[in-house]
Amino acid sequence: MSLKPLDVHFKVHLDLKKIELYEMGWNLKDGLRECLVAAAPYGGPISLLKGHNRRSPSARPQLEIYSSSGLPLASFPWKSGVVKQLGWTVSDDLLCVQEDGTVLVYDLLGGFKRHFSMGNEVSQSQVLETKIFHSPYGTGVAILTGALRFTLATNIDDIKLRRLPEVPGLQGAPSCWAVLTQDRQSKVLLANGSHLFILDNTACTPVTPPGLSPQASSIVHMCDSFSYKYLALLTDSGHVWMGTSNLKEKLSEVDTKIKTPPKQMAWCRRPKSQQPSAVVMWDGLLIVVGECKETIQYHLDDDSILVPELDGVRIISGTHHELLQEVPGACEEIFKIASMAPGALLLEAHKEYEKESQKADEYLREIKEQSLLSEAVRQCVEAAGHEHEPETQKTLLRAASFGKCFLSNFPPEQFVSMCRDLRVLNAVRDYTVGIPLTHTQFKQMTVQVLIDRLVYRKLYPLAIEICRYLKTPEYQGVSRVLKHWACYKVQQKEESDEVIAKAVSVKLADAAGISYSEIATKAYESGRTELAIKLLEFEPRSGEQVPLLLKIKKSPLALSKAIESGDTDLVYTVVMYLKNELNRGDFFMMLRNQPVALSLYKQFCKHQEQDTLKDLFNQDDDHEELGNLYVKASYKEQRLEARIALLQSAVDEYYKAKNEFSAKTTEDEMRLLRFQRELEEKKGELLVGFSLHDTMTTLLSVGLHKQAEQLYKDFRVPDKRFWWLKLKSLAEKEDWEELEKFGKSKKSPIGYLPFVEVCIKHHNKYEAKKYVSKVTPEQKVKAHLAVGDMEGAAEAAIERRNESEISTVLSRCSATTDHLLMERLNRAKATAVKK
Amino acid sequence: MAHTERRDAPGLPDFSLLKRLARDQLIFLLEQLPGKKDLFIDADLMSPLDRIANVTILKQHEVDKLYKVELKPIVSSSDQLCFLIRPRIQTVKWISDLVNSDKVAGRFRRYKIIFTPQKFYACETVLEEQGVYGDVTTDEWNFYILPLDDDILSLELPEFFRDNFLEGDQRWVTTAGSALHLLQSVYGSFSKVYGIGRCAKMVYESWRELMEEGEQRTRQPEFAKVFLIDRDVDFVTPLCSQVVYEGLVDDIFRIKCGSVEFGPDVTSSDKSIKVMLNSQDKVFDEIRNEHFSNVFGFLSQKAKNLQTAYDKRRGMDIQQMKAFVADELKGLKQEHRLLSLHIGASESMMKKKTKQDFQELLKTEHSLLEGFEIRECITHIEEHINRQVSMIDSLRLLCLLSITENGLLSKDYKSLKAQYLQSYGIEHLLTFANLRQLGLLEEQQAGETLTVMESKVGKLVTDKTVGKLTDAFSSLAKKSNFRALSKRLALVPKSGEEYDLRVPRDMAYVFSGAYIPLSCKLIEQVMERDGWTGLEEVARMLNGQEFAVTARNKTDAQRIVLVMFLGGCTYSEISALQFLGKERGCRFIVVTTAITNSARLLEIRAARNVAAIDK
């Protein structure tokens, strides 16, 4: 085999490999000595605080942030208080815990984000020790105060401080402690000499790890695993106890034979691995302990720190950055010397094939005979994922691809996605980017988060390339990155509004699902109102523009935008906002210029605030509407006096509006109402509220003719109406005598045909006939027909020589009885037509 | 049906899908409030709801009792109250009061408001102002469209007209846009959109925005074109008396949500019967679009046929009889029942419509449409008002007069208005104010402003030009140009020619051959020209705002045209469009905010109930 695995150590139970990730790009004079160092998991950034212990104000310590490959990201002098601890959050924010319990949060480019305090008690008694820990609920901070009490915040994004109970018998600082996550709770495990206690919200419980060797008089170090499941304890006798973190089960115990306290200890195991293994570091020495008694030792040339990861431990020194991890199963199978695993054979087969040797066939045959070819391909693909060297990845993938040719129906997804993932991983592992992710970590963290991290480091082009390459849906991918880019862009103070707005619009032009309002909000927050307004112009959805416009106090613009959108809800939003924001006068003035908003607000007022409506009309001097409003109010009013009063107000308004007609009519109505009431009181007839017409009808029907006449005169009722009224009511009462008198009183303004018809309607042919002769010649035929006098009708029609009238009569004749008449009519019709 | 359908007429899409979607969503919403609950329903939602989910379905989803929203205190023992309402401020206020009174009484209940078709910010503001925002949960039931029939879709929003055209409240614009969006997402996109009117334009904009936001689905489209039209483009048509069967039934008996209640005078029993009027009713389907004068003849023919079918059973042997009873009898019985109902209805209508009054009414209407003997018409209207014949009809004639004559002369306006108020009470001052706002009933302002202008200009130019200017000014002042439109579009056929209503020549048959509905004529013209070219003058006279948009995805034109009436449409218009479709071999699907007619158009702006005076 020409391929040699890097540093594979063959031990009885434990196979580890150490991979060199980077040669550090930084140039540190003293290495990591006398530095506070913190490195973020998942190949995150590294922060250094040099000389933090120097208290002289003249020499300010320098805070530096580097990428995993040691390229500087930020550097600035530390101006705040004494820092006790540095740490990174899960979202790559730097936490600096100060002596007084204040925690300062910076982004990875050194920008200050915010700060928070760990409470009064901490600031009074000062921080003794602190630990920054991760749990499924986010990043937390635990503090041991000078008063030997613990204060804990489980999630710094949602701070709820918890002060843990006192530990009985604790005289000085505990020999060591750690934060465990158990039963969905963060607890503190601490060792006071050989005694172990678990501190939770309510109690302090002494615990004993099963099978801890009795020689130990004190526990000097402890650490939990990346998955929170396991715990390792180191005793002063040099024994490492490994077990589950609930302290119920012991996995193994190994004697390191070193009795000095270590610098750091960390778990080094990959998910689902059966072998527990922990790494303990002393000055210049690294020991890996596992299940068996043997240990593996490495020498360290330089001061180093351990960074526990999901599937291994990174070791960062002043010059190098290495990854120590258990050899993955697939790699071991393939690269083990003289391995006969299918993957190994396939790799060999491919190698022979490249050499154009027939041995390739032999190897292949061997795999195929055991029908393990698909297994072989899978092994190669998986192993490729775990390799860091692109050449090795390629060789393995080529072998897999070669093997695939001899398989039908082998699903290609695994191979394809592995190729893609590796391409992305190789890109971000690049020295200039410096995110040394393993494939396992990448899968755990997901593409979205990786994109976020790249965006966070302002590596926009790379992020976009990756989105495009992985065909991430635009909305989650490219557009999101562009949005972040734009948000960053608008904060660049040195460029002019026009330039930025243009740049943003050009870049974002055809990206789907971009929210310009978010970008504008960012611009506004960084104090560039004009730019925000410019950017909002690009926002196609008015719904998104309006809230920000309101926020930046551009309410007239917001209002007109809302109206433009045609979305009344939006208009209402603005109107309601303005109503509370402006004084009444300004508010009305603004509405006045926007009729749509005004009519909407009027609608609202109609139901909610009648008085406001009045004010609105008043302001506009819209007396006509005010009048209408009063009239409307009047007929909702049940008391007569109140109704009249309202009508009077209406009259006043109508006069102001120069609407004489309405004013007069309303005055008439008031007069009518008074008249009605008077009569009602006198005669006991229900009248109030009736229309003039109805009042007269009622009066006539009960025989109050005099009063009816009075109304007729007072209200200038047209003659026609009065005649109709009287005619109808008399006929209704079948007062034929009175009717006849009325008919003769003067010439009827409505003619006499209505008399005929009304009589007929009340089945009085006799009376009807009386009026037939009085009807005008044009209506004669109709009148005769109405009373059923066919002869008369025929007579009249013939006399008038009117063809259509003759036809009408004809159509009413029945063939049997009016035979003669029909003949006459037909003849007359003939002559009429001739004429 | 009298006219045979062209054989290549396209089939209709299946609109029952819309009902199913609405039902599923409603059930989902009801399930959000688990356990027994009382349901309060807005009165005007009851009929539409019944078409979507009947009481049995509601009961299956733990609705205990059903109440109508009456804006009065309630009697309910349930601990969970669910309100299914239109987003109206008044109703929401009532609910808030209810919640507050429960609070005072120390009663704990759970409240849920389901707004349909959507909730408005104003409603939430009311909840907030009344301090109950946290006590109720709100939801939206996106029930935009109710299919009334195979080709009639309704938004069931009668208030659309009032809110949009009278109050200037455009809140329903987005609703109409969403309805179109829904149709598009279910039945595919359109190739061409035409429209006229301000509201139509806004609806189109809101719809376009929705289209851009949502993902484009490539589905075989079922419609080719859409035509959006505002009701205020054509007020004349809905103001005319309807004489097509379905329209008449609506005018007289009031069709509510596709069903009608025939009273005892129709059913010739002492009960009222509720009948669904749609294409499922075979008898009705054949006469709905017929001119009323043909209906009787048709029905009697039908009766004879039925008799023959019944008579078949004479001389049958036992086997044949068995088959007859099994297969045909039920159908015949059903047909018999429907036939007798429609005959009853026709009789009752005949009684009302052959009366002198109605004939004269029609005559006046026709004269007004033709612009003929206007003085006599005014006299007739006056008499109509004086005799208190009918509040609505008088108003209708007044409006018709105003629109066809470009407003009433000031003298006539004042005298007619005064008489109307004398007849029906002063509260109609508001009615007149509203009608003026809408442009339905106006006083001619030959007036002041223009004369001032004229005199100013007059000083500068010669007399001849002044005359021309006067013309120009007066044409500017005129809002409705019915007379000119009528001439240009040939809406009123030449008088004197016989019009055989049995064999309709054109769409004018829906008004006894006297008038082609303006709205339908406009649609016909635009479809024919595939746009507004050549109609610029017409559009200008209709106050412009016309548009035609070609969508990106050109499809093979299915000949189905969707016509959306914003503010309601009448059955006569639907009949006219069906007729047009048959002539042209295409199908028209009508989407309307509500079915309307003259009475509905005028009622909603007539003053609301007057309180009785306390003594």
3-state secondary structure A82-107: CEEEEEECCCCCEEEEECCCEEEEEC
Q: Look at residue B606 in the predicted model and tell me its pLDDT.
A: 46
| Spacing of C-alpha A688 from chain mean position | 60
Higher pLDDT, B448 or A107: A107
Same domain for A139 and A183:
no
Q: Is the CB of A600 less than 8 angstroms away from the CB of B610?
A: no
> Based on the number of CB atoms within 10 Å of its own CB, is A713 exposed (0-12), middle (13-18) or buried (19 or more)?
exposed
Phi first, then psi: what are they for B74, rounded to 5°? -110, 160
The 10 Å CB-count burial string (b at 16+, else e) for A742-778 is: bbeeeebebbbbbbbbbbbebebeebbbbbbebbeee
HSE-up (13 A, CA, CB side) for residue A771: 32
Cα B427 to Cα A632, A695, B543, B610, B612: the distances in Å are 7, 15, 32, 8, 13
| A772 Cα to chain B: minimum distance (Å) | 18
Given A572, A628, A669, which is nearest B430 (Cβ)? A628
**Amino acid symbol at B201:** K
A 539-558 residues with CB < 8 A to B:
540-541
Same domain for A299 and A185:
yes
Chain A residue numbers with beta carbons less than 8 Å from the beta carbon of B202 are: 566
**In a domain? residue A235:** yes
pTM for the whole structure? 0.69
Helix (H) or strand (E) holding A485: helix A478-489
Give residue limits of the domains in chain B. 15-143, 144-234+498-610, 258-353, 357-405+407-477
Name beta bridge partners: A190.
A177, A197
| A688 Cα to chain B: minimum distance (Å) | 7
| Interface with A, mutate which of B422, B427, B432, B605 (most A CBs under 10 A) | B422
Q: Does A635 touch chain B (CB under 8 A)?
A: yes
Q: Does A724 touch chain B (CB under 8 A)?
A: yes
CATH (one of 1.20.1510.10, 1.10.357.10, 3.90.420.10, 3.40.50.2060) for B15-143: 3.40.50.2060
| B422 Cα to chain A: minimum distance (Å) | 5
Fold of B258-353: Syntaxin Binding Protein 1; Chain A, domain 2 (3.90.830)
| Interface with A, mutate which of B138, B180, B386, B423 (most A CBs under 10 A) | B386
Which tokens in the block code for residue B353?
Answer: 């419509």
Count structural domains, chain A.
2
Q: What is the mean pLDDT of residues A78-84?
A: 85
Task: Say whether B258-353 and B144-234+498-610 share the same fold.
Answer: no
Q: In what order do the strands lie in the sheet with A176-182?
A: A176-182, A185-192, A195-199, A204-207
CA-CA distance, B154 to B570, in Å (whole number)? 12
Q: Look at residue A259 in the predicted model and tell me its pLDDT.
A: 86
Question: Which of A636, A632, A665 has the alpha carbon at shortest distance from A651?
Answer: A665
Residues 6+ away with beta carbon under 8 Å from B387: A724, A728
Q: Look at residue B458 in the predicted model and tell me its pLDDT.
A: 46
Tens digits of residue pLDDT in A681-731 = 887 777 777 888 888 888 888 878 888 888 888 888 888 888 888 888 888
Q: What is the mean pLDDT of residues A285-304?
A: 84
Q: Is the CB of A638 less than 8 angstroms away from the CB of B419?
A: no
Cα B380 to Cα B236, B355, B364, B397: the distances in Å are 19, 16, 8, 10
Same domain for A109 and A222:
no
Higher pLDDT, A53 or B156: B156
**In a domain? residue A766:** no
Pairing, β A185-192 against β A176-182: antiparallel
A 639-698 residues with CB < 8 A to B:
639-640, 643, 661-662, 665-666, 668-669, 688-694
ipTM above 0.95, yes or no: no
A601 contacts A568 by C-beta, under 8 angstroms:
no
Chain B residue numbers with beta carbons less than 8 Å from the beta carbon of A648 are: none
B283 contacts B332 by C-beta, under 8 angstroms:
no
DSSP 3-state assignment of B551? Answer: coil
CA-CA distance, A292 to A12, in Å (whole number)? 8
Tens digits of residue pLDDT in B300-354 = 888 888 888 878 777 778 888 888 887 778 888 888 888 888 888 888 888 877 6
Higher pLDDT, B467 or A361: A361
Which tokens in the block code for residue B133?
Answer: 């925002």
Chain A residue numbers with beta carbons less than 8 Å from the beta carbon of B115 are: none
Same domain for A123 and A159:
yes
Q: Look at residue B446 in the predicted model and tell me its pLDDT.
A: 58
Q: What is the mean pLDDT of residues A794-818?
A: 74
A 382-401 residues with CB < 8 A to B:
none
Residues 6+ away with beta carbon under 8 Å from B469: B454, B457, B458, B461
Q: Is the CB of A638 less than 8 angstroms away from the CB of B614?
A: yes
Name beta bridge partners: B227.
B194, B563
Same domain for A190 and A155:
no
Chain B residue numbers with beta carbons less than 8 Å from the beta carbon of A636 are: 611
| Nearest residue of A to residue B389, measured between CA atoms | A724
Chain A residue numbers with beta carbons less than 8 Å from the beta carbon of B206 are: 566-567
**In a domain? residue A17:** no
Q: What is the mean pLDDT of residues A367-395?
A: 90
**In a domain? residue A134:** yes
| Interface with B, mutate which of A542, A571, A661 (most B CBs under 10 A) | A661
Same domain for A122 and A236:
no
Q: What is the domain extent for residue A286?
A: 175-312
Same domain for A207 and A116:
no
Q: Look at residue A87 in the predicted model and tell me its pLDDT.
A: 92
pLDDT band at A337 (very low <50, low <70, confident <90, very high): confident
Same domain for A142 and A36:
yes
Interface A:B, Cβ pairs < 8 A: 135
What one-character DSSP code corresponds to residue A72?
E
**In a domain? residue A180:** yes
**In a domain? residue A471:** no
| Interface with B, mutate which of A720, A722, A727, A755 (most B CBs under 10 A) | A720
Q: Is the CB of A718 less than 8 angstroms away from the CB of B425?
A: no
| B35 Cα to chain A: minimum distance (Å) | 33
Chain B residue numbers with beta carbons less than 8 Å from the beta carbon of A718 are: 382, 386, 419
Q: Is the CB of A666 less than 8 angstroms away from the CB of B387?
A: no
Q: What is the mean pLDDT of residues A170-182?
A: 88
| Interface with B, mutate which of A563, A591, A608, A726 (most B CBs under 10 A) | A608
Same domain for A306 and A183:
yes
Chain B residue numbers with beta carbons less than 8 Å from the beta carbon of A607 are: 89-90, 93, 126
Given A607, A715, A720, which is nearest B90 (Cβ)? A607
Chain B residue numbers with beta carbons less than 8 Å from the beta carbon of A715 are: 422
Same domain for A203 and A155:
no
The string of DSSP codes covering A590-610 is HHHT-HHHHHHHHHHHHHH-H
| Nearest residue of B to residue A570, measured between CA atoms | B121
Q: Kindly report the CATH number assigned to the domain that includes residue A62.
A: 2.130.10.10
Q: What is the mean pLDDT of residues A49-73?
A: 79
Length of chain A: 835
| B425 Cα to chain A: minimum distance (Å) | 4
Q: Is the CB of A689 less than 8 angstroms away from the CB of B205?
A: no
CA dihedral A265, A268, A273, A277 (to 10 degrees): -50
Structural domain ending residue among the three candidates A108, A135, A163: A163
Helix (H) or strand (E) holding B65: strand B63-68
CATH of segment(s) B357-405+407-477 = 1.25.40.850
Structural domain ending residue among the three candidates A269, A284, A312: A312
CA-CA distance, A690 to A718, in Å (whole number)? 18
Given A567, A631, A689, which is nearest B429 (Cβ)? A631
| B5 Cα to chain A: minimum distance (Å) | 37
Q: Give the lowest-confidence range in A23-37, A428-442, B39-53.
A: A23-37
Cα B212 to Cα A433, A541, B251, B550: the distances in Å are 38, 10, 42, 15
Q: Look at residue B176 in the predicted model and tell me its pLDDT.
A: 92
Q: Look at residue A665 in the predicted model and tell me its pLDDT.
A: 85
Q: Is the CB of A607 less than 8 angstroms away from the CB of B433?
A: no
Q: Does A566 touch chain B (CB under 8 A)?
A: yes
Q: Which residues of chain B have pLDDT under 50?
A: 1-4, 448-464, 466-467, 469-478, 606-615
Same domain for A253 and A159:
no
Same domain for A68 and A125:
yes
CATH of segment(s) B144-234+498-610 = 3.40.50.1910
Cα dihedral A674, A677, A682, A686 sign: positive
Structural domain ending residue among the three candidates A163, A194, A212: A163
Q: Look at residue B478 in the predicted model and tell me its pLDDT.
A: 44
